[in-house]
Each structure stands twice: as C-alpha cells, then as structure tokens.
C-alpha cells in the first residue's frame, strides 16, 4: 500500500490519522490479537465489497472477537473513508482488535472490553502497462495452521516478503510440505494447458477475494478453472504463474527463483483473463 491519506476512522468517528491514539495495552499491539481487511476502491467505488465484509465477519467469528458493527455500518465507514479522502483509486484498510484491557493477559478480556476499530485509506497506483509482471522467489511457509483467518499477526509473511525484497523480487511464493500454499500477501494461480489452477480452500491459505473474482471472470470467457493441490515441481513447470491480491489485481510472475516462466513475458491466458477481470471493476471518472 502507498502512503496513507489524511482522514481515518477510529472507534466511532472520522478524525485526522495523525490524531489517532491507541493504548499500549491494546491486544493488537501486545499480541497481534486482531483481524483486518484491505478493500480496493476503483473510481471512488469499493470493489468486491461483500466478499471482503463476509471474510471480515468470518475472521472475527473464528477468533471469537465481537463484531462491533452491523454490515450497514461497515459500509458507511468504508464509503465515508472513500469520500473524505477524495475518492479515486484507493485501498481501504480496516482493523478490529479484541480491545485494550487494564492488564496483559493471554486469556480473553471480560465482555466489558470493547473491540478497537481502526480504518485508514491509501492511494492505489494502477501499474503502468509496460511494467506489468514481477520476479518471485520461493520460501518455506513458516506460518501457523489457521492461515484462513486474516489476522494482523503476520511475522512469517513479513520475513518471506523481506527475503523477496533482498533477492530483488516482488513476491515470495510459499511452499509447505512440497506443495504451493500462496504468496506472502497474495493468492497464486497457475496456468496449465489453458486451464487455471489454484490450491483448494483450507486452513493453510487465505480465501482470496481477487482469485474468486478472477476465476469467475475466466469461467465467463470459457476457460476451465480447477482447485487442485500444486506440487513444487508442477509450480515450476507451469505455463504461467500469476499472483492475485486486492491491491495488485492479477500480476504475472515472469521469473521464479531466477528461472524464466514461459518466455519471460505476460502470457496469453493472463492477457485474456486480465481484460475480463478489468471489465468487472467499477469505471468512471476517478475523482
């Protein structure tokens, strides 16, 4: 995400981001006891809003954090953040922690402790068509066994992303027990013989909102889409590899661990699906 913009949401009000103050006893700070969502905004309109809010509600439920807002309230917060930050192409970040108790205790605080709700917005740059595609490296997936929850406890993801940066790559693709899981902050799709393949949903990976929309777009133009386990060898032999994420759309991986994928340029299936996916996004004058 790019630099955050001015207006944030904090526990019930919009306020300048620089004025938000969070207690050091907040459980997000002490334990990473919080969940988050990143919602893309195109031309001033939230994209794939329902799947993002479904996932936020699920993450809260799975961790037993009280959902502090009804669906309509979440939508008002998101739309308020978009409006107050000038619309256009943005990424809305929402975070809910279990709140700040009066002492540090691993066990959950009493019901009287209210969740902390924080929202902010960043600009989202559309990649220049000539700069499409990235280099990726593979890394061992060192995360916990509930990666289906979008938790702010992201240390293993950070280590993988930093390893990618140090290798001059834009993403780390994670392997667990010889199989692909996902990227450090993205879903991974491979193309084999014209078909799109991704790992089946499960506790080892986050269910991606972008990858679901990409599969729907690809099915809409007649391409086969399958959920299958992808071994390391299969990953390395794929015709195309893409990463998918709310703030990055679908991006082709041109090189994996220093080895070219296909001819090292965005592939033909990517071109076709990227166009179909682009057509799903809200368009209009970005204000």
Ligand X SMILES: Cc1ncc(COP(=O)(O)O)c(C=O)c1O
The CB-of-147 to ligand X minimum distance in angstroms stands at 7
Tell me the sheet residues that pair with 10: 13, 118
The CB-of-240 to ligand X minimum distance in angstroms stands at 18
Nearest to 237 by CA among 183, 174, 188, 190: 190
Q: Which of 103, 150, 259, 281 is catalytic?
A: 150
Nearest to 115 by CA among 58, 50, 63, 54: 63
What is the total count of residues that contact ligand X (CB under 6 A)? Answer: 14
Give the β-pairing of 90-97 and 116-123: antiparallel
Q: Which is nearer to ligand X, 97 or 209 (CB)?
A: 209
**Binding track over 160-199 against ligand X, x by CB under 6 A:** ----------------------x--xxx------------
Tell me the sheet residues that pair with 83: none
Q: Which is nearer to ligand X, 100 or 172 (CB)?
A: 172
210 binds ligand X (CB under 6 A): yes
Distance of CA 120 to the CA centre of its chain: 15
Distance of CA 108 to the CA centre of its chain: 27
209 binds ligand X (CB under 6 A): yes
* Span of 192-200, 202-210, 229-237, 272-280 interacting with ligand X by CB under 6 A: 202-210
> What strands, in cross-sheet order, belong to the sheet with 45-46?
13-16, 7-10, 116-123, 90-97, 34-42, 45-46
The CB-of-114 to ligand X minimum distance in angstroms stands at 27
Q: Give the list of residues 6+ apart from residue 10 with CB closer than 8 angstroms, or none.
A: 20, 117, 118, 119
Q: Which is nearer to ligand X, 23 or 152 (CB)?
A: 152
226-245 positions binding ligand X, by CB under 6 A: 244-245
In the block, which residue shows the tokens 């991704």? 198
Tell me the sheet residues that pair with 176: 179
The CB-of-247 to ligand X minimum distance in angstroms stands at 7
**Catalytic residue at 150?**
yes
The CB-of-49 to ligand X minimum distance in angstroms stands at 12
What are 244's two structure tokens? 């998918």
**Binding stretches for ligand X (CB under 6 A):** 38, 157, 182, 185-187, 206, 208-211, 244-246
**Catalytic residue set:** 150
């Amino acid at each position: 995400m790019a630099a955050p913009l001015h207006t944030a949401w904090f526990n019930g009000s919009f306020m300048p981001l620089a004025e938000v103050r969070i207690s050091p006893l907040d459980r997000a700070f002490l334990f990473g006891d919080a969940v988050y969502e990143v919602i893309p905004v195109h031309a001033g309109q939230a994209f794939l809003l329902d799947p993002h809010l479904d996932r936020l509600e699920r993450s809260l439920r799975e961790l037993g954090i009280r959902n502090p807002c009804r669906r309509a309230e979440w939508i008002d917060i998101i739309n308020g953040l978009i409006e107050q930050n000038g619309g256009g192409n943005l990424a809305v970040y929402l975070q809910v922690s279990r709140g700040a108790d009066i002492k540090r205790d691993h066990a959950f605080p009493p019901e009287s402790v209210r969740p902390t709700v924080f929202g902010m917005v960043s600009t989202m740059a559309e990649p220049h068509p000539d700069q499409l595609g990235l280099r990726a490296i593979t890394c061992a997936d060192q995360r916990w066994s509930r990666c289906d929850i979008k938790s702010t406890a992201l240390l293993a993801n950070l280590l993988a992303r930093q390893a990618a940066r140090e290798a001059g790559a834009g993403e780390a693709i994670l392997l667990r027990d010889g199989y692909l899981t996902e990227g450090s902050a993205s879903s991974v799709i491979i193309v084999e013989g014209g078909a799109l393949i991704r790992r089946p949903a499960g506790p080892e990976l986050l269910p991606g909102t972008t990858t679901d929309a990409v599969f729907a777009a690809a099915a809409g133009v007649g391409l086969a889409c399958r959920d299958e386990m992808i071994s390391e060898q299969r990953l390395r032999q794929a015709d195309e590899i893409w990463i998918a994420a709310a703030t990055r759309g679908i991006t082709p991986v041109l090189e994996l661990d220093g080895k070219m994928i296909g001819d090292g340029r965005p592939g033909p299936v990517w071109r076709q699906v990227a166009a179909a996916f682009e057509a799903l996004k809200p368009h209009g004058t970005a204000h």
